[in-house]
Amino acid sequence: MKPYIEYSEEVIQGKKSGKAIVALESTIISHGMPYPQNVQTAREVEDIIRAGGAVPATIAILNGKIKIGLSHEELEYLGQASGVIKASRRDIPYILSAGKDGATTVAATMILAELSDIAVFVTGGIGGVHRGAEETMDISADLEELARTNVAVVCGGAKSILDIGLTLEYLETKGVPVLGYKTESLPAFYTRKSPYHVNYQMDSCEEIASLLRTKWELGLRGGVVVANPIPEKDALVENEMNSIIESALQEAEERNITGKEATPFLLGKVKELTGGKSLVANIALVKNNARVGAELAVKYESMKTTTV
């Protein structure tokens, strides 16, 4: 891996001292938010993880190198650069071999986190089965990665632009546990609840860390979804959001926007239709996930050093 991966000094020192490391994606910086909010949010999220006793590792591909942890300068560059490729599993070999820049999606971040021996990853929401997928077959690579890669993904549930019911069915087929952190209802990104239930409610990071260790020690490959609801004060109204999402989906269909371009378009349209409220909610959600992710990573790291 040495020719491909570079670790930040902070991550190197964290690993040497046995500290918990938390992976962070970079698509949210390059494709998810406008500058300068993207860079500011990334830095604040990293600081929350540090305050929780863990080391943040924002993951990206820059100039054909996998970066595990970004410097302030690299964050600034990623936040403003044009032509950064939205990188999933299929894109990683091309971006590396061609010396390009890539911002990692949930799937790509999971792959590179596992390569770097990082077990906990914090993001906003996972991708999933898109509405109308029975005709389009538009299913996020995030779900397949959750089926095969040993990383826990702390998120606000599945993005509410998706078919959440079918997303849960897919995860069940692939044997991926969906855990609710202090909730039995699967959160829907901008809202705290959906009509769907998680597999198991867990009320402490210690319980979740114990499940992770048990799963992976048994050789049961694949990730775990840790669904953490957006704080109540930051949540948007469910009925309003459903109406806005339907409108955004209709426009995407009319404009024939599909594939990897669909999610950025839909999230941008939702931001426009909510007057920017969805972006504020997105930032609050990611910060809340960072707090839980840091605590989970610390608990899991402490369990790794003990025997069953």
Catalytic residue ranges: 25, 159
In terms of Cα–Cα distance, which of 174, 120, 169 is closest to 145? 174
Both tokens of residue 238? 């469910």
Helix residue ranges, H only, 52-199: 72-80, 92-98, 106-115, 133-136, 141-148, 164-173
d(CA 115, CA 140): 21
In terms of Cα–Cα distance, which of 250, 288, 286, 283 is closest to 269? 250
Both tokens of residue 229? 């609801």
* Cis status of the peptide bond prior to 36, with omega within 30 of 0: yes
d(CA 58, CA 288): 17
